[in-house]
Amino acid sequence: MSDLNHDFVVIGAGPGGYVAAIHAAQEGLKVAIVEARALGGVCLQAGCIPTKTMLAGADAARMVRQAAAFGIKTGAENISYPAMVERQKKVIHQFTQGIQFLLEKNRVEIIMGRAFLKSGSEVEVYDSADQLLRTLANPGAILLATGSHAADLPMLKRDGVRILNSSDALNLTAIPQELIIVGGGYIGCEFASLFSTLGSRVTIIEAMDRLLPNMDRDLGSALKRTLAKSGVTILCNARIAGAESGERIQLMLADGQVVSGDQALVAVGRKPNLKNLGLENAGLKCSEKGIEVNDSFQTSAPHIYAIGDATGHLALAHVASAQGRRVVNHLIRSRRPGIAPPLKSLDYDRIPACVYTHPEIASVGLTEEAASQRGGAVRTGRFPFAALGKAAAAGETDGFIKLLADTQTGKLLGGHIFGPHATELIGQVALAMQWGIDIHQLAETVFAHPTLGEAIGEAAEALCGKPTHIIVRK
């Protein structure tokens, strides 16, 4: 069956693809979206939403343990891990149905199958038995939003039983007694926070000199202290020299240490999904990072766009969604000049990133190290959550907010938060950076009291050299 009348064909129904499809349909385009697995992509099916659902369960267990401090007597907690997993599946199912509903109501045609570029102007769709279902011929534009998959290690090949990836970890039927996590980035640290809270003895092995090596150094240092207090063993500057898998996993490190556990979770990043797409048939250029695109997300074939993890840019769901909106905006402007004003280009320095450990971590803008390397004088302002009434009332006093600014201009260069609800608070800092609010304007902003958000204003006051609720040594 061959179709000739689609304005826009989207390959991949993750947070980049389905958002682009909906916006294109709202602009009056005839849109088809092709998905090989399940609507929502990795984010909904095996990433953002399921991990946060499980972490919410861990937070509930933590609150039960701490209830006595609030004058509430409870019995000993009784964690049912299978029930936690079942709740996770219900949440995934609910939002999968929600995405389907939104696509259908916006008149986006949903095609379940594997997409393949037969050429730059033909998209073939195959079923799970590799039988050709449809051919989408001569669409006006094509968007590749094919996402990514968990990276492997040659000496720790996933078997789904002893050696796990992040998807496997979300579908365990029991809490591991001893879990080795290879990789101290955000994925590894979130799982360390989850399983250590649920009672696992966790060891993190990280090749770099600190946890969260891509974030501000102070964040990784604070997290290391907190995880260590909860019993997590953390080995940085550690490289794996060999591995043995049997009844237990044994990892031999380059310094002679041997680390053993019941299971090992490999969390060393993600790689773009580029295989079996027929990219070469369309003449698309790729690098090791992913599909090469310009600032408008056009590939080497101008009518074919690519976004999200497939391009190797920031592998974040909200980045893919923002890129998808800009693809549609570019497409509409090219078809209807003067109709749609151009969306502001993405400034990746102003996009927040979040880590859902306990306490939470969030960051936007430059790290202190990166700001210094770019030249110019940089100053920092910090404020501890321990000095906030709302944090004390909630029993969540661990952590801080750190803001960076250009000493000469007062321009806000970055914000880094370690503490309660950091992932919600970071939006306020991102908003200030997006619209050019300097530290003096931020310090003059009136924040409601008592709130956690007050810490942002207090950190800005510290940047201006006039903090109210802390004493800064001069």
Q: Measure the CA angle with vertex 364, ends 361 and 365; round to 5°.
A: 140
Ranges under pLDDT 70 in the chain: 1-4, 340, 474
pLDDT at residue 277, as a whole number: 97
- What amino acid positions are annotated as catalytic residues? 449
Q: Is residue 100 part of a domain?
A: yes
pLDDT digits (tens, 9 = 90+) for 51-61: 999 999 999 99
Widest Cα–Cα separation across the chain:
75
Q: Is residue 277 part of a domain?
A: yes
Q: Is residue 191 part of a domain?
A: yes
Sign of the CA dihedral running 105, 107, 112, 115: negative
Q: Is residue 62 part of a domain?
A: yes
Bridge-based pairing of strands 178-182 and 263-266 is: parallel
Q: Is residue 349 part of a domain?
A: no
Q: What is the CATH number of the domain that holds 172?
A: 3.50.50.60
Q: What is the CATH number of the domain that holds 406?
A: 3.30.390.30
pLDDT at residue 76, as a whole number: 76
**What torsion do the CA atoms of 15, 217, 465, 400 make, to the nearest 10 degrees?**
70
112 and 18 share one domain:
yes
User: What SS3 string covers 222-262?
Assistant: HHHHHHHHCCCEEECCCCEEEEEECCCEEEEECCCCEEEEC
182 and 261 share one domain:
yes
Residue 376 tokens, joined: 């110019």
Boundary residue ending a domain (319, 335, 351):
335
pLDDT at residue 336, as a whole number: 80
pLDDT at residue 334, as a whole number: 85
- In a 13 Å sphere around the CA of 246, the CA atoms on its Cβ side amount to 2
Q: Is residue 473 part of a domain?
A: no
Domain count, the chain: 3
209 and 180 share one domain:
yes
The continuous run of DSSP H or E covering 351 comes out as none
pLDDT digits (tens, 9 = 90+) for 31-52: 999 999 999 999 999 999 999 9
Q: Is residue 154 part of a domain?
A: no
d(CA 203, CA 361): 20
372 and 239 share one domain:
no
d(CA 464, CA 158): 51
User: Cβ(20)–Cβ(41) under 8 Å?
Assistant: no
Question: Going edge to edge, which strands form the sheet with 109-112?
Answer: 109-112, 31-35, 8-11, 141-144, 304-306
Structural domain harbouring 40? 2-149+272-335
Q: Is residue 256 part of a domain?
A: yes
222 and 289 share one domain:
no
Q: Where do the H-state alpha helices sit in 10-141?
A: 17-26, 41-46, 48-66, 81-105
Residue 353 tokens, joined: 């990133």
Tell the burial category of 115 from Cβ atoms under 10 Å away from its Cβ (0-12, 13-18, 19+): buried
The continuous run of DSSP H or E covering 189 comes out as helix 186-197
